[in-house]
Amino acid sequence: MKKYMQAAVLSFAVIGLTPHGAAAAEPLTVVELFTSQSCYSCPPAEKLLGELAQRDDIIALEHHVDYWDDLVYGAAGRWKDVFSSPESTDRQRRYNKSIEGRGYPYTPQMVFDGRAEAVGNRKRAVNRAIKNAREKQGERLTVMVARLPAGGLTITVDGSIADKAGIWLLRVKDKQVTEPTGGENKGKNLVNHNIVREVRRVGDWSGRKAVVELSGYTLEEGFSCVVLVQAARPGPIIGAARCPSLSS
C-alpha cells in the first residue's frame, strides 16, 4: 500500500490498476511475434518485441514455431528451438487463414490484435501496424484480473459485445537468453521476451458478464500470465489484460 491514500488512488489511475492487484481495464494492443531460434532474420524482431514489451499500452508475446527445427544449415547443422511447439505453429497458420491477404506463415511475423500482420523486423511497418490497430480497435470488453485472497486468480469480463468468444489464460516466460550450438544462429546470444509456454481456455464469453475463479493457480519464478478474450479460430482479440504478480 502507498503511504498516503491519495497517492495510492493516483497511482491506480495512472498505471491502470485497481485495488487488490487487479489488472488494467484500459484497452491494450496485443502484439504476437511468431519466431524461431533457427531463423537468421528473427533476432532483430525479437529485440523489437522486447522494446514493445516495455510499453504500458501493449501486451507483447512471443510464439516459437517448430517448422524450422529440422532444417540443416551446412556445417552449422540444425538447431531445435528450445521453446518451439506445434501449438504455436498451428496458431500462426490459423491466423494466416483468417487475416485477409495472407495465405502462408513465415518468420518473423507479427500479428496485431488478431486482425492484421506485418514483417516483425521492419520497425516502421510494425509501428504503423500498431497505430492502425489502435485506431481500428473498436469496442472492447473490459477484462480485469485480480488475486484471490486465498491464492490464485479471478478473471472478470464485462461489456456489451454480443460475439461469443473464449477466455484464454496464457502462461508466459518473461525472459530467456540462449546460445544455439547449431543452425543459422549458431554461437549468438539470443534474447527472448514474453515467451508463451501454455495457452489454456478457462472460460467463455457469451454476451453477459463472466467471472472465472482459478483457485490455487500459481506461477514459477520468472513467469507471468496474460488473459485474452478471443474466438477459437483464433480471430480478433476483443479484450485483454495482464495478470497481477502472484508473488507474496
Specify the pTM: 0.88
Rounded CA-CA distance 30/236 in Å is 10
CB atoms within 10 A of CB 245: 10
Burial 184-200 (b: 16+ CB within 10 A, else e): bbbeeebebbbbbbebe
**Bigger pLDDT: 213 vs 231:** 213
Q: Which of 27-31, 103-107, 121-125, 145-149 has the lowest mean pLDDT?
A: 103-107
Cα–Cα–Cα angle for 106, 111, 117, rounded to 5 degrees: 70
pLDDT number for residue 101:
67
Cβ atoms within 10 Å, residue 127 = 13
Q: Is the pLDDT score of 106 beyond 50?
A: yes
What radius of gyration do the chain's Cα atoms show? Answer: 19
- What topology is assigned to 5-242 in CATH? Glutaredoxin (3.40.30)
pLDDT in tens, 127-184: 999 999 999 888 999 999 999 998 899 999 999 999 999 999 999 999 999 999 999 9
pLDDT reported for residue 19:
35
Q: What's the confidence (pLDDT) of residue 150?
A: 86
The CA-atom distances, in angstroms, between 238 and each of 43, 112, 241 are 29, 12, 11
Higher-scoring residue by pLDDT: 219, 22: 219
What pLDDT is stored for residue 26 in this prediction?
61
Residue 10 pLDDT? 29
Average pLDDT, the chain: 88
Give the domain ranges of the chain. Answer: 5-242
In sequence order, the 6+-apart residues with CB closer than 8 A to the CB of 55 are: none
173 strand-pairing partners: 195, 223
Check residue 100 and give its pLDDT: 73
Helix axes 123-135, 43-52, angle to 10 degrees: 40
- 78 pLDDT tier (thresholds 50, 70, 90): very high
